[in-house]
Chains A and B, each alone.
Chain A
Amino acid sequence: MTTTSTSTAQRTTIAKALNSGMRAAMERDPKVVLMGEDIGKLGGVFRITEGLQKDFGEDRVIDAPLAEAGILGTAVGMALRGYRPVVEIQFDGFVYPAFDQIVSQVAKMHYRSLGKLKLPMVIRIPYGGGIGAVEHHSESNESYFAHTAGLRVVTVSTTDDAYWMMQQAIASDDPVVLFEPKRRYHERGVLDLGGANPDLADAPHALDEAVVRAEGSDVTVLTYGPMVKVALAAAQAAELEDGPSIEVVDLRSLSPLDAEVIEASVTKTGRCITLSEAQTFTSVHAELAAHVQQHCFYSLEAPVLRVGGYNIPYPPSRHEEVFLPDLDRVLHAVDTVLGY
């Protein structure tokens, strides 16, 4: 598929939309290069970069040695030379060798140089569980990055966002960690390209904007990435049973948070649940809870509840159906906040 199709709307998957987003960015800017393990001929273990090396060459789609710190560190150097690297980390749990480069260098270079050096790079991390994988392949480690000043952290839940946010992240002059919900890669959706020659200005939302995916009046669910689907299912189930009216806010950006949308929703509903696969302790969940109690205090009818992974290491996959929040756990939390 190509982005120059004359049709403005097409059915596609999140995986393919991410690919199209990268392709569009590479067509637009010759300085955009992709770096990662197995991203060339193979197209990445999830095929997100499929076909890009064939079309853009080995100099722009770089199969890197198997060393994550090396990939991140060389990407920093490429960015200093004027390139815009898009780095693929193969799985969430494999980013830690590169963590030093990300927090010590990527996040701080602009600050250290008093704004004289920019590091426009995107670090793509397939994250989350639910795919029956072995250890280190199912983590939701976004909080480590959201905690670090200097990084922008975003995630996608729709084909539209996959396509547009990829391009916005690449166009950003700040380093962006883009979390891709791996178990939703093959979810289908309609992608609106916005025209025959889509421009970034056509993007329906800004990179750091939260979006209300379902309107409701009783409870706000603040969620993102792979859990947006679960939250929407919960809202729908509750509606079908004439239960509580659930508003689903897809945060999209975890750093910065869209305080305006969050506060508007919770102020309206008076109840708030945070929902993600991540362990709740000192997490984005925790930040959301703190933010909401501080800024929506007089609107709250109940304490903020966090629905997430239990505070244990990601368990063997035979446990993941109960470790990962599901529709029942969301509805249980909804009942709980309504019981105050």
Chain B
Amino acid sequence: MKEPALSDEEVARSAAPTATGGSPARGLHEPPERDMTDGGPDMVQFLAADGTRVPLTDVNSPYAAYLDELDEEAMRGMLRDLILVRRVDSEGFALQRQGELGLWPSLLGQEAAQVGPGRAMRPQDYAFPGYREHGVAWCKGVPPENLLGMFRGVNHGGWDSNENNFHLYTIVIGNQMLHAVGYAMGVQRDGDVATGDPERDTAVMAFTGDGGTSQGDYNEALVFAAVANAPVVFYVQNNHWAISEPNDRQFRVPPYRRADGFGFPGVRVDGNDVLASYAVSRAALERARGGEGPTLIEAFTYRMGAHTTSDDPTKYRISAEVDIWKKKDPIDRMRTYLLAEGIVDQAWLDGVEAEADELARRIRQACQTMPNPPHEEMFEHVYADAHPLVAREAAEFAAYQAGFED
């Protein structure tokens, strides 16, 4: 998009002091100053980038109790998930490069932002993902092989969402936010909220990114959820890049602060801190299950890779920014922390690496042996009930194809 040139008058006006303060107003097209690497003082964090525990503050202490519940086994489980999910992702990337997949949207850098909420959800909680939520899928028990079909072009998803309460990937940005709210409205009508029964009370979690917050569907979802007091948690992974557009092309007020205007709490969490992402998600989910309504979580994280394998981020972002985020790696900090605490040791880590190798082998094999569907199957499932036009074309197609036999 070509930026129109400013007139002299506009330039003069933009340089004039604002009514509210002494600082000069920004030019019409000048982005607000926003730090793409620092989440600011409101951000909930328990693990610093160097793997040390952050002292309790007013900001993180409301969530600390959820960490107290985590035993060493659970802590190890989180690190294991982070490592395995990264391996799922790197295998997906490699399979695309080898021509086995047509596309792969990498979650590199967002592992903690996904494993946190993924592990916070109970089995009855329902997740509505975008298309990069491989880590949430993993935590919900969806076999990674299931995710490959759509990227290989053998189906458009095809897994049974009700098996793991993990909906099909939604590619149109933001559509799923409304589905989550509607599902949560159904949960309300089923009476599965605020019964006090932890096996019954159900929350719904809707995932999108910073780009998604600009969509009408996203904003309508927040309105509908607020009005219905629906048991839903909106989980925005602010990975700072919507393909080539940085945050300042999406919003002037960060997502967590916009929740207030819709009438429910918003919280920013360090998305590269799996403990914080988990604890904040737990709190929001329990709030939802208890009938107290929606919460918006903004996970402050970073897309370390390209948007997808079709993208080239060197055209629009500087490596210095990526370098800063490399030092905030979600896996490094959890590993450092658990090693320092003596919760894991090198032998355990080696064991997980071996597990990751085996997982990668399994995924690769599943992908390479995934058969192309017979063409006549493309006519199936267009409708639930019989449809004469589809049936006629399927028959015509079969007859046409049969003409090539012998």
Contact = CB atoms under 8 A, between A and B. Distances in A.
Interface of A: 33, 59, 62, 64-65, 67, 69-70, 72-83, 97, 100-101, 104-105, 108-118, 120, 149-150, 152, 172-174, 208, 255-257, 259
B223 to A, nearest CB: 5
A257 B161 CA distance: 32
21 contacts: A59-B188, A59-B189, A67-B216, A69-B216, A69-B220, A70-B178, A73-B178, A73-B182, A77-B181, A80-B167, A105-B172, A110-B381, A112-B156, A112-B168, A113-B157, A116-B159, A150-B383, A152-B387, A173-B384, A174-B385, A255-B389
B380 interface: yes
Given A73-B220, A100-B175, A257-B389, 18 more contacts: A65-B220, A65-B223, A70-B224, A73-B181, A74-B182, A74-B224, A77-B183, A77-B184, A77-B186, A81-B182, A81-B187, A101-B175, A105-B175, A111-B156, A113-B157, A113-B158, A116-B162, A173-B385
Nearest to A64: B224
Contacts of B190: 81
A118 B183 CA distance: 14
B182 to A, nearest CB: 2
B368 interface: no
B15 to A, nearest CB: 39
Contacts of A117: 161-162, 168
Given A112-B156, A112-B157, A117-B161, A73 B383 contact: no
Contacts of A112: 156-158, 168
B172 A69 contact: no
A69 B221 CA distance: 9
B367 to A, nearest CB: 18
B382 interface: yes
B175 A104 contact: yes
Contact of A76 (B179, B380, B389): B179
B221 to A, nearest CB: 7
A13 to B, nearest CB: 30
Contacts of A75: 182
Contacts of A120: 384
Nearest to A117: B161
B21 interface: no
Contact of A70 (B155, B160, B221, B389): B221
Contacts of A78: 182-183, 185-186
B16 to A, nearest CB: 38
Contact of B387 (A59, A97, A114, A256): A256
A259 B175 contact: no
Most chain A beta carbons < 10 A, residue from B156, B170, B181, B189: B189
A82 B221 CA distance: 20
A118 B387 CA distance: 15
Interface of B: 128, 155-162, 167-168, 170, 172, 175, 177-190, 216-217, 220-221, 223-224, 227, 380-385, 387-390, 392
Given A70-B220, A70-B223, A73-B175, A81 B382 contact: no
A69 B178 contact: yes
A244 to B, nearest CB: 31
A105 B170 CA distance: 9
Contact of A74 (B172, B185, B389): B185
Contacts of A259: 388, 392
A120 B383 CA distance: 11
A223 B185 CA distance: 40
Nearest to A104: B172
A101 B178 contact: yes
B216 A76 contact: no
Nearest to A109: B168
B155 A77 contact: no
A89 to B, nearest CB: 15
Nearest to A257: B389
A77 B161 contact: no
Contact of A77 (B182, B381, B382): B182
Nearest to A103: B172
B178 A74 contact: yes
A64 B225 CA distance: 11
A132 B366 CA distance: 62
Contact of B156 (A64, A108, A255): A108
A304 to B, nearest CB: 19
B6 to A, nearest CB: 33
A73 B189 contact: no
Nearest to A70: B220
A264 B184 CA distance: 49
Contacts of B177: 73
B227 A65 contact: yes
B220 A67 contact: yes
Contacts of B221: 70, 73-74
Contact of A114 (B172, B179, B187, B381): B381
B402 to A, nearest CB: 21
A160 B159 CA distance: 41
Contact of A100 (B168, B172, B187): B172
Contacts of A115: 380-381, 384
B158 to A, nearest CB: 4
Contacts of A118: 384
Nearest to A59: B189
Given A65-B224, A81-B187, A105 B179 contact: yes
Contacts of B183: 77-78, 80-81
Nearest to A83: B186
A69 B178 CA distance: 8
A255 B388 CA distance: 9
Contacts of B389: 255-257
Contact of A149 (B162, B179, B185, B382): B382
A110 B382 contact: yes
B74 to A, nearest CB: 30
Contacts of B182: 73-81
A115 B157 CA distance: 11
Most chain B beta carbons < 10 A, residue from A114, A116, A118, A255: A114
